[in-house]
Structure 1
Amino acid sequence: MKALVKKTDHELIQLFTDGNLEALEALVVRHKDKLYTSILFLVKDKYLAEDIFQDVFIRIIDTMRSGRYTEEGKFLPWAMRIAHNLCVDHFRKVKRTPTIRNSEDKDIFEVLNFTDDSAETAMMKRQSHSRVREMLERLPEDQREVIILRHYADMSFKEIAAATDCSINTALGRMRYGLINLRKLMVQKQIAL
């Protein structure tokens, strides 16, 4: 498994299609945090996010096994598009928009590793993350989505535009207005991160 960690996404995909299941495991481990975090931010439900995350990898496996994967060198953006589309499909299927939940839900940042921090630092990070999440939830959906995809999924604006089916300029505008609105919220609420 250690040797697989050094391989590129393309090499891991090739190994998997040749029958090496550990290559798929390495690929999942490499990208699980970004994918899961992005899904959770969009659906705001831990259990639903886990289901969609599993569906994403089922689609990925089916596509790779059937030989239809052609996104050479662009695995993560491709996987993020699948995740985004599955989230959109979910909301279309239940014919509702995502609900804004209160801060009693489990923190999204539990999936990140804070074990090296002191108790005080961990508490300050949780409070900061909670404030950021609360402010993000106050943004319009299109602005929130672009900020999440850019900062939590590390997607480029070109990738965001493709995933959200808009132009690059629209994605840039949504990001700009989203950040302006976040700054306004910080001033109004006198929040320091």
Structure 2
Amino acid sequence: MRASLSDSELIRAYRGGDEQAFEILLTRHQERVYTKINFIVRDSELANDLFQDTFIKVVRLLKEGKYIEEGKFLPWILRIAHNMSIDHFRRNKKMRMVRSKDEMDVFATVDNGDVHVEDQLVENQIHADVRRLIDELPEDQREVVRMRMYDNLSFKEIAATTGVSINTALGRMRYAVINLRKIVGDNNIQLTPY
């Protein structure tokens, strides 16, 4: 019977001291959260560690009253899981750059064949420039671009994570590409080494 309660009802019960309410939330969402983390890190042992860290953080934030009930509990947890996974790579300087194959020319950069030091520096600078360009986008567009380009999420996964429809996620990506092309054109930015 308690398992039929909504996430919001379970959160209120947990905040009221009902530890079992959180167990139900954990059971309800653990597979999605673990899958998201494992999809990003591609290492089951690391995914388990980050999964535990994610739920420790969720518990802490809930106890501190930092979750605002808007009926979007799962996207909130998935965002925390996403951020913790990315933070792990940043801390360990193992962040891998994922490039689009033919989706957008704005993200197409040099190939990683036999690369000389100078070419690698140029490529690193291009990646840094692209990240700075993405940072100039409005938050909703920036979020979709990062999920699509760096996390390799499908638009269906992006929609579920952000709590919007697939069409909205697609629209945000389309506007992001238009805005990026405009920024590149207006500022005469070159994203290719030669």
TM-score (norm 2): 0.56
Instruction: Tell me if 1:42 matches 2:35.
Output: no
Work out the CA distance in 2 between the residues paired with 1:24 and 1:73: 16
Alignment match, 1:170: 173
Identity of paired residues, percent?
Answer: 36
- TM-superposed deviation, 1:71: 3.7
Work out the CA distance in 2 between the residues paired with 1:171 and 1:154: 18
Paired residues of 1:77 and 1:155 also in contact (CA < 8 A):
yes
- Structure 2 gaps of 5+ residues are 99-146, 178-194
Work out the CA distance in 2 between the residues paired with 1:142 and 1:30: 26
Alignment match, 2:21: 23
Aligned CA-pair RMSD:
3.4
Change (3 A) 1:144 1:85: closer
Change (3 A) 1:168 1:36: farther
Work out the CA distance in 1 between the residues paired with 2:170 and 2:154: 17
Work out the CA distance in 1 between the residues paired with 2:44 and 2:84: 15
Alignment deviations for residues 19-58 of structure 1 (CA, whole Å, 9 cap, x no partner): 1111000000111111100100100010110111111111
Alignment match, 2:111: none
Alignment match, 1:63: 61
- TM-superposed deviation, 1:96: 1.2
Instruction: Tell me if 1:33 matches 2:17.
Output: no
Rg comparison, structure with higher value:
2
Instruction: Please give the secondary structure, in 2, of the residue aligned with 1:147.
Output: coil
The letter of the residue matching 1:66 is: E
Work out the CA distance in 1 between the residues paired with 2:74 and 2:53: 15
- Structure 1 gaps of 5+ residues are 101-140, 161-165, 175-193
Work out the CA distance in 1 between the residues paired with 2:7 and 2:69: 11
Alignment deviations for residues 153-185 of structure 1 (CA, whole Å, 9 cap, x no partner): 83357499xxxxx996227889xxxxxxxxxxx
Change (3 A) 1:59 1:151: same
The letter of the residue matching 1:145 is: D
Instruction: Please give the secondary structure, in 2, of the residue aligned with 1:54.
Output: helix
The letter of the residue matching 1:65 is: K
- TM-superposed deviation, 1:83: 0.6
The letter of the residue matching 1:169 is: R
Change (3 A) 1:68 1:173: closer
The letter of the residue matching 1:34 is: R
